[in-house]
Structure 1
């Protein structure tokens, strides 16, 4: 199914993590929400494939451990989303469509 492209308006910001917003709901470890606003990553469907980390030319992502999550125990966290150049490489390579990129 992929990330909801309307998450920025359809979901509420419930916390901040590593300098970016987290859109809920969040009920760790099973439900982790969507991390980031410019580069949103749905932590609940991210399967830690790593292709976005490899594809990104400006190092937007970093691994974040999520022990106990049913899909994968690490996620590609958009900790450097401000560096995004909107090339869409991460969106194009994500096998589960967990990433949505939108300029501010």
Structure 2
């Protein structure tokens, strides 16, 4: 099961990290929630294979450390989600469907 495409309706915004909105529940280090709005990454699903970061044509993503998370010790953060061109490449290549891009959420 991938990221909930309706997370912004089904989850509560619990704060911000590095200028990126965070949607709960959050209980570090095991549960980190969804990060981003227009480009959203479910940190609890992300396995940090880096395909989205390496292939994004406009460099939306950066690495952030998430020590102690059961899936991986780092995640891709949609740091520059405002630069997203809606090509959907990140959505298509994510091996665990941890990313959602939605033009109506900006």
Superposition TM-score tier, normalisation by shorter sequence: over 0.9
Mapped to 1, the partners of 2:20 and 2:44 lie a distance apart of 17
Q: How does 1:78-97 map to 2 (within 5 A)?
A: 78-97=78-97
The answer to whether structure 1 residue 72 and structure 2 residue 72 are counterparts is yes
TM-score, with normalisation over the residues of structure 2?
Answer: 0.96
SS of the equivalent of 1:8 reads: helix
Per-residue Cα deviation, 1:1-53 (whole angstroms, up to 9, x for no partner): 11011101110000101112100000000000000000000000100010000
Q: 2: distance between equivalents of 1:96 and 1:30?
A: 17
Q: What is the CA–CA distance in structure 2 between the aligned matches of 1:19 and 1:66, rounded to whole Å?
A: 16
- Structure 1 runs (4+) deviating above 2 angstroms are none
Alignment partner, residue 4 of structure 1: 4
> CA RMSD of the aligned region, Å?
0.5
User: What are the Cα deviations for residues 35-78 of structure 1, in whole angstroms up to 9, with x where unaligned?
Assistant: 00000000001000100001100010000000000000000000
Equivalent positions of 1:6-45 (< 5 A) are 6-45=6-45
Q: What's the TM-score once normalised by structure 1's chain length?
A: 0.98
Structure 2 residues without counterparts, runs of 5 or longer: none
Q: What is the alpha-carbon distance in structure 2 between the residues aligned to residue 84 and residue 17 of structure 1?
A: 19
Q: Report what 2:98 is aligned to.
A: 98
Task: State the distance in 1 between where 2:75 and 2:69 align.
Answer: 10
